[in-house]
Amino acid sequence: MSTSSVSKGCFVFKPSAKKRKTHSLESYFRHGCESAESSETRFRLCQDLWDKIKTDTEILQDELNRKILDSLLDFTRKCSSTRQHSDWTSQMRASEIPTAALVLGVNVPDHDMTFQSLSDLLRQSVTPHVTSVQAKECGALKHLMKKVLERLMDTVVDDDDDDEGESERPQLQKSVHCSLSTLCDWYAAKTTKSSSGTPGKKRSSPAKDEQLQQPPVVIIFKDLEAFNPRVLQDFILICSRYIDRLPLMFIFGIATSPSTIQHMLPHSVSSLLCIELFQSLSCTQHLATVIDKLVLTSHFPFKLNGKVMQVLISLFLYHDFSVRNFIKGIQLALLEHFHSQPLSVLCCKKKEALHNVTQLSQKDLIKLKDLPSFTRYLEKQEPQEQVNLTEDAHLKEVCQNLIKGLHKYHKNYYPTLRCLHTLTSSLPRYPLGKQIRELHLICLEKNVWENEDYQSAMKLLKMLAKDELIASLQRCLEILQPVKSKKMKKACVQLEELLAKFKQLDTAAAEMTDNADDSFTSPVKNLQKKTDLFQLQKTLLEMNETRRSKKMSPFEILRNEALEFIDSLVKNHLSPPESQPLHEVCYYTSSATVRRHLNATPRTCIQAALSRPFYYLQNDKLKTEDGSVSNAAPDICIAYKLHLECGRLINLYDWLEAYATVVSAAEGHDPDSDSQGKVDEVKHARFIRAVSELEFLGFIKSTRQKTDHVARLTWGGC
């Protein structure tokens, strides 16, 4: 497999099929997995759970995009039927190209899924001639034309500058000329062929048949802002000349604002487009729906603790607004949890979890006893019970009861959370957050009823009007009714009784108001008399006591009763997960791992590699005790360490001499000899290469202040 070449090059030798080794996903999962004997079960549970989450996510995203996609389909059908009938010229000029401006938002990673769904729906119900292009593959007009023709016609398109490639192309593979006239001829042949049909087949109605004969040609520009404006302008001008022969339609994918079209296209070009605006659901609403359906539910046993949730939400809000990346973060946490937690075999449906408890090994039971939550549970038990828990059979039985309690906790937690959010989400200044995810994070940290914001929210709820309070309680009842839990059913009965009492308040309140008016005499009348200072003070005290002793109205009594019911519901079911024994089997807590994988810091990693090359190269000669770099380290590591000892400007000659001294010591020269620190051609070349690599990595840059100096772009030590 040797090669000979005049010039230097890189040659790739592909391994033979016999030598290739295929590794299953399960084998990768087992690598470095704790408690490898249960890794097969954990991998199966992880895969099943992720498949379920992925399926539900895709269904949810289809539902969220359904409205905007249906609007786009109606637009394409309307434009297609309009063009084929006499009202084409009455509604739009003959040279105008129907264009849909689809504003999707700045969450660019999510756009591919939307465009894929749109393309599939268009092919199924409107036209088979649909293609999409991206800016990175259309740097010039000929590239754009070539991509459009190749994807629509499914053939090879000749490029005028590719004569050499044309000569090397196999003769059996036909090619066509890169022009829209070629596309028009192909479209005419396609429509004529489809209109002829098969012999003996019954033809449909003329209008419907005509509509099927001339389906539109839809071109989707996925990232309009990234396109070269000049390329886009020329393409639109060319397409407008063929609109009478080719029923073209454009769909512009816009991430920022519809005004982008006016900024990119002059009026002479934009006037050739008949533009209609379509606005998709905002990414924040999309995230709220995903969290509501995937995270705040008891259907999935896997959970995230508060810190991990905060990391994922922060990455969403401050980096990319991508719901797709948020779901990828959940997938990462799911994989890490099942890979690193041996007791994650219990993170599944209740019936399967109870069965897996009976299959726990002696080693797993020891790890179960070491869980902090189980240790706290054990400390609260009686001495005799603590002794009994040393037996494996009794320990498994208790573990099954704790797993049942954990599932009951989740079944009651989320309905109660929604009820509290329903009551507090409309309060002034949103003391417990406007979004339910904010309230969820508060509840994950500590007892929410001990929070000052909770106390202020309850005070504000005591000021709610009757209609607002009844409407909120009615929504709470609708939340609790579908829950199949004894405690939630009991809460539903109490809530129904409260609502029935509210309905009977009108007549009772009127009677009590009349009685209160007859029996109440205000001390203010006594102030009309002439009195001294002592008498005035006595009268004011009587007024204050009367105001305090004033009886509350029936509505106020009932309102306090309703809020006490909500408060008891919160205190019973909204305790943080850490209060539940064995919560570690379901909750993933390593926020640092998620942040390290999803929010990478390449500069920090590069600096760590240059400062401590031993941990990357695993060479014993590079190992040092004090954290300094060995003189046997790679040249770039030595140059990097020396540059940290310099100021803002680095003298290249001094830097070279210091480098030569370190390298000479590594080569074993005597420090007192004349050759020590001597710069030869090889050391000079190695130093230049190391400096060039540091400049490429962004640690230094050339400066005009001094010709033989470079500017340092880092600060501090390693």
Over the stretch 316-335, which tens digit does the pLDDT of each residue have?
999 889 999 999 999 999 99
Say what the pLDDT of residue 492 is.
95
Say what the pLDDT of residue 200 is.
44
Contacts of 610 (CB under 8 A, 6+ apart): 636, 637, 640, 641, 718
Q: Rounded distance, CA 157 to CA 165, Å?
A: 11
Identify which of 643, 644, 641, 645 has the alpha carbon closest to the alpha carbon of residue 629: 641
Q: Rounded distance, CA 242 to CA 683, Å?
A: 66
326-372 residue pLDDT tens: 999 999 999 999 999 999 999 999 999 999 999 999 999 999 999 99
Residue 411: Cβ within 10 Å count: 17
601-632 residue pLDDT tens: 888 888 888 988 888 888 877 877 766 777 78
Helix residue spans in 432-482 (DSSP H): 436-445, 452-461, 466-480
Q: Are 420 and 570 in contact (CB under 8 A)?
A: yes
Say what the pLDDT of residue 377 is.
95
Helix (H/G/I), strand (E/B), else coil: 702: strand
pLDDT bin (cut points 50, 70, 90) of residue 705 is confident
pLDDT above 50 for 88: no
Residue 452 corresponds to which tokens in the numbers above?
Answer: 């000052």
- Segment 480-502 shows an average pLDDT of 93
As to burial, measured by CB atoms within 10 angstroms (0-12 exposed, 13-18 middle, 19+ buried), residue 230 is exposed
Q: What is the dihedral of CA 47, 365, 398, 449, to 10 degrees?
A: -70
- Segment 180-202 shows an average pLDDT of 73
Percent of the chain with pLDDT over 70: 82
pLDDT above 50 for 168: no
Among the residue ranges 60-64, 79-83, 707-711, the one predicted with the least confidence is 79-83
pLDDT above 80 for 102: yes
Say what the pLDDT of residue 166 is.
44
Contacts of 175 (CB under 8 A, 6+ apart): 155, 156, 157, 158, 166, 169
**Identity of the highest mean pLDDT range in 21-25, 256-260, 714-718:** 256-260
Mean pLDDT taken over the chain: 84
Q: How far apart are the first and last CA of the chain?
A: 44
Identify which of 491, 472, 379, 376 has the alpha carbon closest to the alpha carbon of residue 425: 472
* Residue-range domains of the chain with CATH: 64-158+177-190+212-281 (3.40.50.300), 286-507+554-588 (no CATH), 602-712 (1.10.10)
Q: Are 288 and 437 in contact (CB under 8 A)?
A: yes
When comparing pLDDT for 528 and 447, which is higher?
447
Say what the pLDDT of residue 84 is.
61
**Buried/exposed code over 250-271 (b: 16+ C-beta within 10 A; e: otherwise):** bbbbbbeeeebbeebbeeebee
151-161 residue pLDDT tens: 998 888 776 55
Residues in the chain: 718
195-250 residue pLDDT tens: 555 444 444 444 444 444 689 999 999 999 999 999 999 999 999 999 988 999 99
Say what the pLDDT of residue 16 is.
56
295-307 residue pLDDT tens: 999 999 999 999 9
pLDDT above 50 for 5: no
560-572 residue pLDDT tens: 999 999 999 999 9
Report how far Cα 305 is from the mean position of its chain's Cα atoms.
Answer: 16
Say what the pLDDT of residue 542 is.
73
The residue type at 155: T
| Cross-strand bridge partners of residue 133 | 221
Q: Rounded distance, CA 421 to CA 423, Å?
A: 5
Residue 258 corresponds to which tokens in the numbers above?
Answer: 């519809």
pLDDT above 80 for 394: yes
When comparing pLDDT for 538 and 514, which is higher?
538
Say what the pLDDT of residue 56 is.
93
Report how far Cα 461 is from the mean position of its chain's Cα atoms.
Answer: 34
As to burial, measured by CB atoms within 10 angstroms (0-12 exposed, 13-18 middle, 19+ buried), residue 27 is exposed
71-86 residue pLDDT tens: 999 999 888 877 665 4
Cα–Cα–Cα angle for 257, 255, 311, nearest 5°?
120
Which long-range contacts does 295-299 make (Cβ < 8 Å, 24+ apart)? 295/330, 295/437, 295/440, 296/414, 296/417, 296/418, 296/436, 296/437, 296/440, 297/414, 298/407, 298/410, 298/411, 298/413, 298/414
Say what the pLDDT of residue 208 is.
44
Q: Rounded distance, CA 470 to CA 450, Å?
A: 26
Identify which of 447, 686, 717, 472 has the alpha carbon closest to the alpha carbon of residue 574: 447
Percent of the chain with pLDDT over 90: 58
| Cross-strand bridge partners of residue 710 | 650, 702
Starting from the edge strand earliest in sequence, which strands make up the sheet with 709-712, in order?
Answer: 649-651, 709-712, 700-702
Strand 303-304 versus strand 587-588 pairing type: parallel
Q: Are 422 and 457 in contact (CB under 8 A)?
A: no
- Segment 280-293 shows an average pLDDT of 92
Q: Rounded distance, CA 68 to CA 252, Å?
A: 14
Q: Rounded distance, CA 492 to CA 156, Å?
A: 67
Say what the pLDDT of residue 94 is.
60
117-127 residue pLDDT tens: 999 999 999 99
Helix residue spans in 256-322 (DSSP H): 259-264, 267-270, 283-290, 306-315
Say what the pLDDT of residue 24 is.
67
